[in-house]
Amino acid sequence: MAKITFKFEEEAIKPITVEAEEGYSLLEVTEDHDIHLNHNCGGVCACSTCHIYIDKGEDQLEEISDKEEDFIDRAINPRLESRLACQCIILEKDAEIEVTIPDQSGIIGHEH
């Protein structure tokens, strides 16, 4: 199974490492493991609330699409390593991925 480590900009939250099967999105992984990540559109690439930073393992995720890039431009503090968790599909069963979840306190919307 793939190993995903979630780190958080909010210092009070300690990193969490979980396992997931290939074919799942990182948003689905957060849902399955009760990790707080907003997602107003329900995971269909129609907003930017599930914005995350991929620190390691970008090549083990589905490639970014033009549509996803357009929505990342609307996210708070986008960076080169920005992605939308709903679009980050795990491609390899032995993937090792590290993610930083931006501070969620300023985002109004749906959470798990």
What is the rounded distance in angstroms from the CA atom of residue 68 to the CA atom of residue 86? 10
DSSP structural state of residue 46: S
Between 25 and 105, whose confidence is greater?
25
pLDDT at 112 over 60: no
**Six token digits for residue 73:** 């431009």
Strand-pair partners of 5: 17, 98
Reported pTM: 0.92
Map out the domains of the chain with their CATH numbers: 2-101 (3.10.20.30)
What are the pLDDT digits (tens) for 49-108?
A: 999 999 999 999 999 999 999 999 999 999 999 999 999 999 999 999 999 999 987 766
Q: Output DSSP code: residue 61.
A: B
